A = this chain, B = another copy of it.
């Protein structure tokens, strides 16, 4: 049995397990995303001063072991499938049943669409860490990459910032900022997560100001 004894051994084992087992990954849910979520989670844990680093690291690396496209009707089940796939991985790495259960709960509860309340510190920190990935420069990149992959328009050319129409984030990538992304700070579960989310939203508003200038139109009040 391959029991991981140090942080770096565990991390290497989790990276390999993700790379070998990932199902349905795209450029928004690849190993690099998992690494960034772990970096965010570690920052949040350092500020919050609680939770198991082992559980959080495993949950961060394996939270998208199964992922489904944004337009897949089964998307709300992806985090449950990912948790089921993660359980044998962490047991094989020497986690006990309680730890494995904590990893699985954090993975199930990280998902926005699953709408499961995070009950543990690790689950709250993973959720915030993953939501940070939807914000800031990296969130901008991921938003437009998803839009490109789905063949979705960036914005309504007649009314990019939806001054005179209802928001529709199924049609326009930018509408998703107003509908969901710029409102994520208020959904954060930890103080550190919320502070980081607010800084990243400020960057996104700076980007909106650039875009408005390119388009010759006033910026939105989102």
CA distance A137 to B215 in the complex (A): 10
A203 is contacted by which of B26, B157, B200, B210 (Cβ under 8 Å)?
Answer: B210
Contact pattern, A 133-177, Cβ under 8 Å of B = 1, otherwise 0: 000111011111111110111110100000000000000010000
**Chain B contacts for A152, CB-based, 8 A:** 27
- A27 near B153 with CB under 8 A, answer yes
Query: Does A140 lie within 8 Å of B144, measured CB to CB?
Result: yes
> For residue A179, which residues in chain B have a CB less than 8 angstroms away from its CB?
none
Q: Which single residue of chain B is at the shortest CB-CB distance from A200?
A: B214
Determine whether the beta carbon of A214 is less than 8 Å from that of B27: no
**Chain B contacts for A140, CB-based, 8 A:** 140-141, 144, 207
| Max chain B C-beta neighbours (<10 A), residue from A39, A141, A146, A206 | A141
Whether A148 lies near B35 (C-beta < 8 A) is no
Asked if B207 and A137 sit within 8 Å, CB to CB, the answer is yes
Closest to A216 in B: B39
Nearest-CB distance from A130 to chain B (Å)?
14
A83: interface (CB < 8 Å): no
Q: Are the C-beta atoms of A30 and B147 separated by less than 8 Å? A: no
Query: Does A102 belong to the interface (CB within 8 Å)?
Result: no
The residue from B32, B142, B216 contacting A157, defined by CB atoms under 8 A apart: B32
Closest to A143 in B: B144
A: which residues have CB within 8 A of B?
A: 26-28, 30-32, 35-36, 39, 136-138, 140-149, 151-155, 157, 173, 200, 203, 206-208, 210-211, 213-216
List 24 contacting pairs A-B, 8 Å CB cutoff, sorted by A.
A27-B147, A27-B151, A27-B153, A27-B154, A28-B148, A31-B157, A32-B153, A35-B157, A36-B157, A39-B216, A136-B214, A137-B210, A138-B211, A140-B207, A141-B144, A141-B154, A141-B211, A144-B148, A145-B154, A146-B148, A203-B213, A206-B206, A207-B207, A207-B210
